[in-house]
Amino acid sequence: MSPPKRCWPRWTPVLADRRRRQEKACYRCPAFYCSCHDGGIRAKLAKLTTGEILEISRFKEQIMSLRLEGVSKSLDGETHIYPVDLELQKGSMNVLLGPTSAGKTSVMRLMAGLDKPDAGAVFWNNQDVTRRRVQDRDIAMVYQQFVNYPSMSVYDNIASPLKLQKKPRAEIDDRVQEIAELLQLAPILDRKPNEISGGQQQRCAIARALVKDVGLVLMDEPLANLDYKLREELRSEIPKLFAASGSIFVYATTEPEEALLLGGNTATLWEGRVTQFGPSMDVYRRPVDEITARVYSDPPMNFLPVRKAGNLVTFPNGQTAQAGDELALLPDREYRAGFRAHHIEVGGRPADKLAFEAQLVITELTGSETYIHLEAAGERWIGLIPGTQTFEVGQQLHIGLDTANLFYFDHDGQRVGLPRAETGRVSA
Amino acid sequence: MSSITLQKLAHAYNPDTRRDADFALKEVNHTWEDGRAYALLGPSGCGKTTLLNIMSGLLQPTRGRILFGEKDVTAMSTAQRNIAQVFQFPVVYDTMTVGQNLAFPLRNRGMEASYITERVQRVAQMIGLERHLDQKASSLTADLKQKISLGRGVVRNDVNAILFDEPLTVIDPHMKWELRTQLKSLHREFGHTMIYVTHDQTEALTFAEKVVVMHDGLIVQIGTPQELFEAPAHVFVGYFIGSPGMNFMPVSVEGSRGEINGYTIGLESDYGNPVGRVVLGIRPEFVRLTKGAGLPVTINQIRDVGRQKFVNATLFDTEINIAVNAGVQIEADMTNIVFDPAMISIFCDDWRIEGSPLQKLTEGVA
């Protein structure tokens, strides 16, 4: 028994899923409101044909969660990825943040099944898919390079994954129009990839990845090859696309600000290790160690050595401050304090601030702000101050630093103290 | 070393040059002063690479002349022009050591061995490669290789100019900070004329003393980073510089009074009666959220990037961005905005118009 054609208006997993959540689902056909099957949900599975059951199990298998358990990878005897544990939920945006060759692409390839891990396992909805071929997984990937079929029009490029799935023409057309609208490709659907701009080419590649409504979308630095302004534009669109799709998104980037703008969760990567995973703002504000703090700071985080004795912290300039609760309990010894560039203040000497004499190495203007590179306390610091400030290179500056903005790290790089503003904050 | 003058320079890739639109590079008259650091900024396809290729001699211009100092070099080959160029991707000789790579341009010109050693040593020290001098270049990471390219660009002190074509595109954000400062130090130290081509506003503004902004084959503004930010000459500069770019909204202007949907905006200059498409421009940094004063907005989205928050709001039919400093709380009853009157720009048919100063300053927003 096959369901009558007319109740399959727009059979897409998104609709099916929305239906399922509303629990008004017709399990015999994927129509939104089905009048052919008497409300559908009352139809017993036993009455269905094998084909229908397969169709149902296919969308049931859509990834709800993706879990990596102790996944590691070596290449030529050299450890590439140290055991990674990550759990990503359906409908979440997950940013992999780290410098080049930190292992972002390797982790994505393991998630996708393009590479098999040496140890550990990948689970979808608690089912081990480690040995499953990439073709049989429910994924799409967008690369840094714009990958499109040069001989096909934008329309055919976007439609290609659906054609492979042998979807009906009308459904393909609906779906392509819908996604083209979302990505502002509608006016150029009949052009060839080499007749459109780089930004449009990447939009086309993104559209192709999203059109088949997969459970897992992997984006490997998708904006890196685009112009600055185009990047800005597309970056603000990606969260919207993601919200519309309900898939698990994984997005690799080297830029901390991009990670914050995308929101969601961040996993920071460094030399093949995931150093921290959590809500993006949380990782930014409460990094667990020095490496995470460095990875999540642009301009780079500034450091200075401090000595802790009892519940007092002594700074290189001789000033002291109260050690926070966490730090006060630790042994008396040298620690490192870290702070972000925008916490440096120039000029004035408020009594409650740390005061340093710094030598100006170089200034960089951005129009609205000024970056100052300083030598202070035997360290190299970068400060970000508002407005356009003109200084002489080599000039001595009075620098103010609020101890409330300091992170503290021990000799292993573990964080042992948070800025005062963060200690009261409840971790999300 | 000498200044570089572009006289009535224009270029079209196809032989038909009857219309203005046929030109990939529209007429340019500009002098690159000796020893200055410039950036050539614009999106892809704006003609910046065309201009660069004409200066380096890879391309013959359709019209106009190029002078190095007083000398016309328009017909000269790249080699004769005596220019160094650093490309987007590192170009190094893998079989040579770092030191040999750096020495290559000097050795080619038959410099004395003692001079070469001294010069290579100095450049290597400036770019932090002195520990790697005897290492094979092939064993280095992409970042370090690009450092070699930069070093080789500045190793000769007799070049007329050094052209950089997006040299930091493939570099990690953290490494960019280091390379950018090194490039600035190299400029201070050696005093070459440097022209840095990029689409990245941060790189352009932080590197250059003067930034040349190109759009659609045309130079739309030449200015210091501050001038580009505070007084963009063209709406494109307002949009392209700054992240997010400038907010624009239609306005009707009469003298020193602007009007947006019935709301009066006090302006700090007298603009007379501009005829054409008049637009008010204000940067997100100079818009302030208030509880009731000024223009009404609907907040759509707030994005927190740590040191700042970006608020996206709708003002009548226009989408605008507002930058809010980290310390400032955004409250539910902040439903209006005011503009910093000193930072308002008025554009007529895309170009900035300067008003005449008022006798007496008026209040910001009535």
CA angle B176, B151, A374 (to 5 degrees): 45
Element (H, E) at A256: helix A256-262
- Quote the CA–CA distance of A117 and A123 in Å, as a whole number: 13
Residues pairing with B32 in the sheet: B4
Q: How many alpha carbons fall within 13 Å on the CB side of residue A171? A: 21
ipTM of the complex: 0.83
User: What is the per-residue pLDDT for B356?
Assistant: 86
Radius of gyration of the CA atoms of chain A, in A: 26
* pLDDT tens, per residue, chain A with 428 residues: 444 444 443 344 444 444 444 434 444 444 434 444 443 333 333 344 445 444 444 444 566 789 999 999 998 878 889 999 999 988 889 999 999 889 999 999 999 989 999 999 999 888 888 888 887 788 889 988 888 999 999 999 999 999 988 889 999 999 999 888 888 888 899 999 888 888 888 889 999 988 888 889 999 999 888 888 888 888 888 887 787 777 899 999 999 999 999 989 999 999 999 999 999 999 999 999 999 999 999 899 999 999 999 889 999 988 998 888 888 889 999 999 999 999 999 976 677 889 999 999 888 888 788 999 999 988 999 999 988 888 888 899 999 999 889 999 999 999 999 988 776 544 33
Structural domain boundaries in chain B: 4-230, 246-357
Which residues of B lie inside 8 Å of A (Cβ-Cβ)? 43-45, 141-143, 172-175, 177, 180-181, 184-185, 188, 199-202, 205-207, 224-226, 228-230, 239-245, 283, 285, 303-307, 325-326
Is B48's pLDDT higher than 80? yes
Do the Cβ atoms of A254 and B173 come within 8 Å?
yes
- Helix, strand or coil, per DSSP, at residue B320: strand
- Quote the CA–CA distance of A276 and A271 in Å, as a whole number: 13
- Cβ neighbourhood burial of A310 (10 Å; 0-12, 13-18, 19+): exposed
Residue in A100, A300, A362 nearest the CB of B185: A362
Residues pairing with B301 in the sheet: B312
Classify domain B246-357 at the CATH class level: mainly beta
The architecture in CATH of the region B4-230 reads 3-Layer(aba) Sandwich (3.40)
Cβ neighbour number for residue A352 with a 10 Å cutoff: 9
The architecture in CATH of the region A65-285 reads 3-Layer(aba) Sandwich (3.40)
Which strands sit side by side in the sheet containing B63-68, from one edge to the other?
A: B25-32, B4-11, B63-68, B71-72
Average pLDDT over residues B55-77: 92
pTM of the model: 0.82
Is B361's pLDDT higher than 70? no
The answer, for A120 touching chain B at a CB cutoff of 8 Å, is no
The architecture in CATH of the region A299-423 reads Beta Barrel (2.40)
Do the Cβ atoms of A384 and B307 come within 8 Å?
yes
Do the Cβ atoms of A368 and B229 come within 8 Å?
yes
Element (H, E) at B338: strand B336-339
For residue B225, the distance in angstroms to the closest alpha carbon of chain A comes to 5
Q: Please give the backbone phi and psi of residue A244, each rounded to the nearest 5 degrees, phi first.
A: -75, -25
For residue A328, the distance in angstroms to the closest alpha carbon of chain B comes to 27
Q: Where does the pLDDT of residue B1 fall: very low under 50, low under 70, confident under 90, or very high at 90 and above? A: low
Do the Cβ atoms of B43 and A229 come within 8 Å?
yes
For residue A388, the distance in angstroms to the closest alpha carbon of chain B comes to 7
Task: Let me know: does B240 contact B211? Beta carbons within 8 Å.
Answer: no
Is B312's pLDDT higher than 50? yes
User: What is the per-residue pLDDT for B194?
Assistant: 94
Residues on chain B touching A361 (C-beta within 8 angstroms) = 181
User: What is the per-residue pLDDT for A63?
Assistant: 65
The answer, for A227 touching chain B at a CB cutoff of 8 Å, is yes
Q: Where does the pLDDT of residue B359 fall: very low under 50, low under 70, confident under 90, or very high at 90 and above? A: low
Q: How far is CA A283 from CA A151, A236, A242, in A?
A: 44, 21, 21
For residue A255, the distance in angstroms to the closest alpha carbon of chain B comes to 7
Closest to A402 in 3D by CA, of B304, B329, B327: B327
Residues on chain A touching B224 (C-beta within 8 angstroms) = 365
Q: Hey, of B181, B215, B319, which one would you mutate to test binding to chain A, going by the most A CBs within 10 A of its CB?
A: B181
Which two structure tokens, joined as six digits, stand for A57? 């199990």
Average pLDDT over residues B322-338: 89
Minimum Cα–Cα distance from A144: chain B residue: B170
Which strands sit side by side in the sheet containing B295-296, from one edge to the other?
A: B287-290, B336-339, B295-296
Q: Hey, of A360, A365, A390, A393, which one would you mutate to test binding to chain B, going by the most B CBs within 10 A of its CB?
A: A365
- Quote the CA–CA distance of A98 and A365 in Å, as a whole number: 26
Cβ neighbour number for residue A195 with a 10 Å cutoff: 12
Which two structure tokens, joined as six digits, stand for A327? 């730090």
Pick B182 or A408 by higher pLDDT. Answer: A408
Q: Which of A46-50, B41-45, B112-116 is predicted with the least confidence, judged by mean pLDDT?
A: A46-50
Do the Cβ atoms of B199 and A298 come within 8 Å?
no
Tell me the DSSP string of B11-77: E-SSS--SSGGG-SEEEEEEEE-TT-EEEEE--TTSSHHHHHHHHHTSS--SEEEEEETTEE-TT--
User: What is the per-residue pLDDT for A384?
Assistant: 93
Q: How far is CA B250 from CA A99, A117, B311, B317, in A?
A: 43, 57, 20, 10
Radius of gyration of the CA atoms of chain B, in A: 24
Element (H, E) at B120: helix B113-126
- Quote the CA–CA distance of B316 and B314 in Å, as a whole number: 6
User: What is the per-residue pLDDT for A68?
Assistant: 93
Question: Average model confidence (pLDDT) for chain B?
Answer: 90
Do the Cβ atoms of B177 and A281 come within 8 Å?
no
Is B100's pLDDT higher than 60? yes
Task: Let me know: does B201 contact B41? Beta carbons within 8 Å.
Answer: yes
